[in-house]
A and B are shown apart, each in its own frame.
Chain A
């Protein structure tokens, strides 16, 4: 048992697909589910799942790719920081290419900015120790999954008296973004496939508002093809009235309803919840994390003259509506002209598996 092939077992997949066909036929009309998390979108793309599902089961790719929703102004500021000769920017690799109005970190590196790519925030601290003459700025990106790690690194820096290290946080919270989507009167989302790893941290309770207030079922799903099919089946059963519309944990091998209390208290210790901007969507209330006053010496915002201007999103980008399932990429005047995978305007084009990028690759 290596927990890879077992979850890709063809017999189990066929059995799930056939159940999905039976129940979706009984429902008849189109149903729209959103897979919130970018990793789900990737898994769906890689397994070829979208083509296997019945015609009336529509999957909408959500805003859960953390780099895709980083605002232009955040990337602009990160580029600005990287221009300082005494500064070294440390980032996860996927942030490297994300474009803003002023270029990208990749382009900044080409003209001399010192930018290191790491796989763990802990490496940023090691880099700070090795380069004591430089200011190390870690770009804290990601949702509830990575935020506790960033928090832990700040605590380590504090314990070890490391003074040349700070975090420029664009950490974001998933449930407020989901709520912003369904607060649009016209949204078409009838079920959420909730992110597995975010839920390892936050548990299932933060999603309870969706069945309670909006009548939308939620399933916290694992990332293998059988997980995702199982989650779709559960959502269909909710729609068909065979299950209570509720929050269910399909990814039970990792997720508990209370989440990870240690990680949650660590986040509370280090971060304040703030309003933050999501590319293509705009400012969402209480959806971001900023390093709090107690640890302000580790907050890049206090160490550098950072001016986080408001949105510089191009007017006319309809990613917000694509994310709500209201419009298709073809409806956008930028699509495949001004907005391409090489030069993305909105979040749906940044990730290769974003809705617009997928349409660009497969549907043109």
Chain B
């Protein structure tokens, strides 16, 4: 890993007002982590090697990258009270985003395709009603917000046509904590927004109303979603689903003998054009499905959580500091660093 200091020295000559991702070594991924020095954000190469490490004031969750400028927005873990716009070249915090009074960030966000708008997953602290916060990416001013279409939104993703899909997890929590208040009555949904207008919304069948929809990955013709089960832990429910807007979401069960291996918890999801990978840190495994949601394989590794697509394969990270290449057959070690990689590995570009 290049230290930030050495890295900056190398960059000094090239220093420009607006650096691009190429100037910071073309990281392929961003990942929050915990290191000996505290909570950090890393940029990782395609081979899972750290290209830079930047400090965070508290535990991060996910991040999102500006489509062109070497800017990342690192989100605090929920209930999130900050998001930092970081210059990935200098490590400087260019802006600290504070949610408006009575709002919390919820760990995820996304830029519009042209990079002009930042959208953040938020909730109204008092009620957990979902909001999408809108920020002008030229100066990171708050410019408005949309209704997310549900309770407790978590991941959000931008479709190629510019519409925004929201995983409304359905869980109401205490205003400043993570204590869950409505497990008996929760009703997660997937909401599709076009310029802030709800154009489609899908719920799960009633028996799965306690399956919190939390994370999303985009397939060529469907939205893959990963869930966390809050019903009876002995009940082996599907944790992966596929949604084509306009249709009913389809759930994708694991093989029967592996139905409890994920422990009711899908932590991260990623998709290539023909495969979907879902991780479970409590189960210590990644489960791979084909594009139609049929199970293909399971690979075990303790505390595996972060996952992102890379070409036709995947890269995964774990809480023990290892990064892995996931091909069709197996997990292959890429490297290990003295950090605990956090929940998500975010692909750039």
Q: Does B associate with A?
A: no
